[in-house]
Amino acid sequence: MTGPVEELPSVEADPVSGLRRPYFFAASVSDTFLGLDDVSLTVEWSDFTNVHFRQRTRPITNERGFSAQGSFGNSPAYYRDCVFEGVRFKQLGGFTLSRGWFERCTFINCRWEGHFAMSASLVDCTFSGRMNGCAWFGGSERGPNVHRGNDFSAVQFTNNVGWRSSFPIHNQRWPEGYVPPTNV
């Protein structure tokens, strides 16, 4: 899909995986819902405003054994005032933030399992739910990532979450008594 997208068209499922393969290139998407069940998503050079992304919790795999997956930013993509609900963020067999810029977005009960946020930027975003198995990077080979004003105060962190490469821990809100581990 390219250009302004007013309504998300139906995408046929791949005959082998059973996953639909929506591809957004230079698209402008706003004020809509995008279900992430049984999709293999690719986003490049696109803008999303006020879009609600939702993924079912169970089952993780479809009847053919494939899980929904993809990248929210193979090439830079922008997300403003979007909601991500129940999305499984995982490097393999899940979704990645990749090179996305997320501004004033809300992440509700997303599943952070084996995700490495090396190139994403997050500004004034709100997170809730459990966070397990991810690393957040303040910089990458592409330069510094922007992380400021994010609210993690409603997150239950496990010991398997790390903040690396000069992640600006002082520019975020944390749960009462939580000290972000920076040497993990």
pLDDT tens profile 106-162: 999 999 988 999 899 999 999 999 999 899 988 766 667 899 999 999 999 998 898
Q: What is the mean pLDDT of residues 163-181?
A: 90
pLDDT the model gives residue 66:
83
Contact predicate 50/79, CB 8 Å: no
71, 89 contact by CB (below 8 A): no
Share the mean pLDDT of the chain: 89
Q: Which residues are registered as beta bridge partners of 35?
A: 54
User: In the beta sheet, which residues pair with residue 178?
Assistant: none
- Give the pLDDT score at 60: 81
Asked if residue 51 has pLDDT above 70, the reply is: yes
Q: How many CA atoms lie within 13 A of 76 on its CB side?
A: 6
The share of the chain scoring above pLDDT 90, in percent, equals 63
Contact indicator for 101, 76 with CB cutoff of 8 Å: yes
Q: Given a cut of 80, is residue 42 above it in pLDDT?
A: yes
DSSP for the chain, please give it.
Answer: --EEESSPPP-PBPTTT--B--EEESEEEEEEEEE-TTBEEEEES-EEEEEEEE--SS-SB-TTS-B-EEES-SS-EEEES-EEES-EE-SSSSEE-TTEEEES-EEES-EESSEEESS-EEES-EEEEEE-SEEEESEETTEEPPEES-EEEEEEE-TTEEEESS--GGGSB--TT----S--
Neighbours of 173 (CB within 10 A): 13
